[in-house]
Structure 1
Amino acid sequence: MIKPFKLLLILLLPVSLFAQDTAIVKKQANGVAKALMNSDFKRVIAGTYPKAVDIAGGKEKLLSMMTAGMSQMRSQGFSFQKVTIGSPGKFYKAGTEIHCLLPETIVMKTSRGLMAAKSNLLAISNDKGKNWTFIDLNERAISSIKTLFPNFNKNLVIPAPTLPVML
């Protein structure tokens, strides 16, 4: 009787660990999205994949660029209204990292009305799913994937970005 119980436990344990990873990655992605909505760019940068931060010139330069960019956007009538993070997709092993995609929808107020942009976040964990960093997969980021991730798993298919639509 004990042996079937142990077998069941061994078979179900990986499923429960996977479910926990899904909750953790989504929670951490929502934290970064909330920080973006609140213009807490230091928190956004802390949640950004470190190599991407380095390529952008480091934390201080990226903070300066984000602050200036948001100021310019506001002066042109743009503001974030809502960021929605969807459920994570399949997890992929990529060298020593775990990667997955999370769908993201950003709704912005513009001078012409509300606009929605759908894209994906690439979530990256270096510690077996305990902590995650993210990259918004715009065209430039997608073209840099091989530079950022030499061990990128080719089975993880990144959808092409779509154009924003007016609501």
Structure 2
Amino acid sequence: MTKAYFSFQIKMVMVRNFLCFLFLSACQFTLTAEAQVLEEIKTAGQIYAYAQIHGDYEILLDFTYPVLIEKAGGREAMKSILKQIQETKINKGQRLIKLTLGEHIQYTTNATEVHAIVPVTTTTKVPGGTITAETNLIAVGTEGRDNWYFIETTSINEKNINKILPNWDFNLELPFNKAPLYKEDTH
């Protein structure tokens, strides 16, 4: 075994160690970037939840996917729709009291947007009890994730999602909404 052979072996070990370092660094960056995206979704989701619970239409509109606002006839028309929905619920004795984001958020990115499935649990006070529903929101991050929007999935399925999100990545599966649970008040 020559000195050149050992020198070559040492260089190979150094190259292998450097490549391992690069790989681990890339993995760390990926995990950090993923954690950042999830944190952004959760923060935007908490603001959205607050607006839903408190009936803050301006904040709700700020977090409503622009295509939906456009299809409703503009911001004022969408605000009117939101108010009508809220009034109908109030007239029926219903009031959203809790909206909680789930932990298992799935997301994907395309050239211009981030799309995520965000599990949510809502609790609504109704006459004589409460209704708890497990559903999902679609979160959409646009403009380099500077803006986050939400879309409720109650009337969206795999067949019609492209009407709202033309760039939808079908690798994300829209989960089926579960039947809501009614719990009677105990007095």
Q: Is the 8 A contact 1:100 1:124 kept in 2?
A: yes
Deviations 1:4-59 (A, max 9, x none): 54543233111101111101111101101101111101101110111111112211
Equivalences for residues 140-151 of structure 1 within 5 A? 141-142=156-157, 144-151=160-167
Residue 95 of structure 2 aligns to which amino acid in structure 1?
S
Q: Which residue of 2 aligns with 1:21?
A: 37
Q: Secondary structure at the match of 1:132?
A: strand
For the aligned residue pairs, the C-alpha RMSD in angstroms reads 1.9
The offset of 1:85, in angstroms, is 0.9
> Which structure has the higher relative contact order (CA within 8 Å, separation 6+)?
1
Q: Which runs of 4+ in 1 moved over 6 A?
A: none
Aligned length: 166
Change (3 A) 1:84 1:29: same
Report if the CA contact (8 A) 2:141-2:147 is conserved: yes
Distance 1:87 1:138 in 2: 20
What letter corresponds to residue 24 of structure 1 in structure 2? E
Q: How does 1:55-134 map to 2 (within 5 A)?
A: 55-134=71-150
Q: Does 1:50 align with 2:66?
A: yes
TM-score by length of 2: 0.81
Partner of 2:7: none
5+ residue gaps, structure 2:
1-13
**1:81 is paired with a residue of what secondary structure?**
strand
For the pair shown, the structure with the greater C-alpha radius of gyration is 2
Deviates more, 1:115-124 or 1:4-13: 4-13
With 127-136 and 13-22 compared, the bigger mean Cα shift is at 127-136
Q: How high is the TM-score relative to the length of structure 1?
A: 0.89
Partners of 2:147 and 2:127 lie apart in 1 by 38
Q: How does 1:4-43 map to 2 (within 5 A)?
A: 5-43=21-59
Which runs of 5 or more residues in structure 1 are unaligned?
Answer: none
